[in-house]
Amino acid sequence: MTTLGLLAGPPYSAGPESYRDHVARLGARPAGNRALIDTLDRSGLVGRGGASFPVGIKWKSVQSRSRGDAVVIANGAEGEPLSRKDQTLMALRPHLVIDGALLAADAVRANRILLYVGEAHASSLAAMSRALAERPAADVRRLVLLPAPASYVAGEATAAVHFVNAGIATPTATPPRPYESGVDGKPTLVQNVESLAHAALIARNGDGWFRSLGRNEAAGTVLLTVSGAVAKPGVVEVPCGSTIDEVLALAGGVRGTARAVLLGGYFGGWISARQAGTILLDPKALPAAGGSLGCGIVSVLDEAADPLEVSARIMQHLANESAAQCGPCFFGLKSLSTATSRLAARRPDDGDLPHLHRWTAMVKGRGACRHPDGAVAFLQSALKVFESEFAAASGTRGRKAS
């Protein structure tokens, strides 16, 4: 179906593309150097792991500190429960990811590359492992496949570095940030695997080509995981700047009636279905509009579902996935989750709803990483989009069961 950038080539059913087919289709890997960083700058590529940070700037920050001893972590941990796009990419186009990682290593002058792949993603691990075996010896010498623990925060940049250094995949306090002092104290580039794969194509086809793939002033393409009340859930690649309606059409259309769309993932936010359709999926422009493409989640909530119940379940997951290092995150998210669950069960305690408003503001910005910030941003979107449901649930206290 898709004939765009990353997933162009053989169909999904063909499985992982071999090294021979990859080189025959795309040609040999070009040079990774300072000029490539400038090309990435001009391309407008921003990171696809969730933060949408400009890739060229990130590479430059590592390159300028490297003495030939920098480290690259290709981040395929993908701990977001609703996301499948990194797994899919690694399982279908492992050599594009590896090309991107090698290009990054050459450009930032790194001598080690860690392919950090979620341990729960069996087909991705198998494809990446097989792909490594197909590579020339000169490539393989710098590459190590490292299974990432299956937890939500394991893919956070400082957690990935912490795991490599000490075997513990929890975030650490910043500064220093990984680009300053990461693996073994060396400048470290932690880059999502989809971002690296885009870089591998931009290196071959140029920044103008990448920009021309986008629509409505956006650059390039993006992988999305579409789930929930759609006919054909799965991973799609679309031009950046497409509308949510166009994405839902690609996924076979909405089943039933949509109440809301979760954009960005558990770290993202709800948008009411009435407003969602025409929103442009542009990772660069969305943050300015108060939204986020996050790691590319588009999940449709059916009107038949209870939005409070779904939101409470997500909050519970985020509270459980706190690394339990920072008090405001661990205790704050637990309190928020418990109160949300009581409201969803229509058995609230006095003050649960006001507490949600108070605590979301109180917790924000008070973790070593952004885990609590993402969780409260999600809950704040729920409080806004499902305001009437929360108000009704809050008023159910004292009502006699009949």
Partner 1 sequence: MRELEMWIDRTKCDGHRLCAELFPERIELDDWGYPIIAPGPIPKALLPHAQRAVDSCPVLALALRRVEQKKPVKP
Dist. CA 230–CA 151, nearest whole Å: 27
Peptide bond into 287 cis (omega under 30): no
- What lies within 8 Å, CB to CB, of 266 at 6+ separation is 80, 81, 82, 152, 314, 317, 318, 374, 375, 378
Measuring CA to CA, which residue among 38, 143, 135, 131 is closest to residue 91?
131
Among 152, 179, 270, 378, binds partner 1 (CB under 8 A): 179
| Residue 326 binds partner 1, judged by CB under 8 A | yes
Note whether 315 and 333 are within 8 A (CB).
yes
- Minimum distance from residue 188 beta carbon to partner 1 (Å): 11
| Residue 253 binds partner 1, judged by CB under 8 A | no
Strands 188-192 and 70-76: parallel
- Minimum distance from residue 374 beta carbon to partner 1 (Å): 15
Binding-site size, partner 1 (CB under 8 A) = 27
- Minimum distance from residue 322 beta carbon to partner 1 (Å): 12
Using the minimum distance from each CB to partner 1, give the nearer residue, 273 or 369: 369
- Minimum distance from residue 58 beta carbon to partner 1 (Å): 5
| Residue 332 binds partner 1, judged by CB under 8 A | yes
**What count of other Cβ atoms lies within 10 Å of the Cβ of residue 379?**
27
- Minimum distance from residue 83 beta carbon to partner 1 (Å): 22
Note whether 63 and 104 are within 8 A (CB).
no
The phi-psi region of residue 358 (left if phi > 0; otherwise alpha if psi is between -120 and 50; otherwise beta) is alpha
Dist. CA 143–CA 196, nearest whole Å: 15
What is residue 268's DSSP assignment?
Answer: S
Interface stretch with partner 1, choices 37-45, 76-84, 312-320, 321-329 (CB under 8 A): 321-329
| Residue 342 binds partner 1, judged by CB under 8 A | no
Interface stretch with partner 1, choices 76-84, 225-233, 330-338, 340-348 (CB under 8 A): 330-338
- Tell me the per-residue interface mask from 22 to 61 with partner 1, x by CB under 8 A, - otherwise: -------------------------------xx--xx--x
Using the minimum distance from each CB to partner 1, give the nearer residue, 19 or 179: 179
- Minimum distance from residue 111 beta carbon to partner 1 (Å): 21
Using the minimum distance from each CB to partner 1, give the nearer residue, 84 or 355: 355
- Minimum distance from residue 268 beta carbon to partner 1 (Å): 21
Measuring CA to CA, which residue among 15, 36, 52, 212 is closest to residue 108?
36
Note whether 6 and 117 are within 8 A (CB).
no
Read off φ and ψ for residue 99, nearest 5 degrees.
-55, -45
- Tell me the per-residue interface mask from 139 to 178 with partner 1, x by CB under 8 A, - otherwise: -------------------------------xxxx-x-x-
Among 210, 266, 270, 359, binds partner 1 (CB under 8 A): 359
| Residue 368 binds partner 1, judged by CB under 8 A | yes
Among 366, 373, 380, 397, binds partner 1 (CB under 8 A): 366
- Minimum distance from residue 299 beta carbon to partner 1 (Å): 28
Among 33, 111, 335, 380, binds partner 1 (CB under 8 A): 335
> Which residue matches tokens 């162009």?
8
Residue 102's alpha-carbon distances to 15, 58, 176, 276, in angstroms, are 23, 16, 25, 38
Read off φ and ψ for residue 282, nearest 5 degrees.
-125, 105
Q: Which residues are near partner 1 by CB under 8 A?
A: 53-54, 57-58, 61, 170-173, 175, 177, 179, 325-329, 331-332, 335, 358-359, 362-363, 366-368
